[in-house]
Amino acid sequence: MKKRNLIANGPLILLVLLACEGAVQSESLRVADEVTFLGWKFSLVLPQSVSATREKPIHDLETYSFKVNADPKSDLLLYASASNHPSFPLIAPEGSQFQKITIGVLEAKSFEWVDKSGRFHRETLVQLPKDFGVPRYVHFRYKKLTAEERLLADRIIGSIRPVEAKPKG
């Protein structure tokens, strides 16, 4: 299966994870402890230990929150928004690594940095196919994650696939 089409300007664990996800996972291969989450014209593969909350859509914006263990008191693992007008990047501190990457068939831009306490931060903007209309982008971001949480969030980001809405009728 040829899905190792990532372009990188520097080494990142995300790229390794995305290459592994693309090379190993196919539609016919699903691990029993994973579920498919359907967003607005995209899908993600989530471990069952991760819960997703879809916020009430506002015009051309839909937002999603992902937490570990469905614990309402747990910290946010990953935040995503689907829209035509993303604010990207929200934060790109000096020293952050910028990369243009391909996730499956989708082009993306990504910023990553580590803060002074060793916590990981990332913003990734994925462009959906042009013929999809609205939304054009899915903007992922996480902040202050441990190394283990980072791997989980990057795995979820790396699982994004476009899903074209079927016409009604």
Q: How do residues 75-89 score in pLDDT, each as one tens digit?
A: 899 999 999 988 877
Task: Catalogue all structural domains in the chain, each as residue range(s) with its CATH number.
Answer: 13-87+95-162 (3.40.1000)
- What is the average pLDDT score of the chain? 79
Read off the pTM: 0.76
Could you tell me which residue, 98 or 9, shows the higher pLDDT? 98
Spatial strand order in the sheet of 50-54: 50-54, 61-68, 76-83, 137-145, 120-127, 106-114, 97-103
Mean pLDDT throughout 160-168? 78
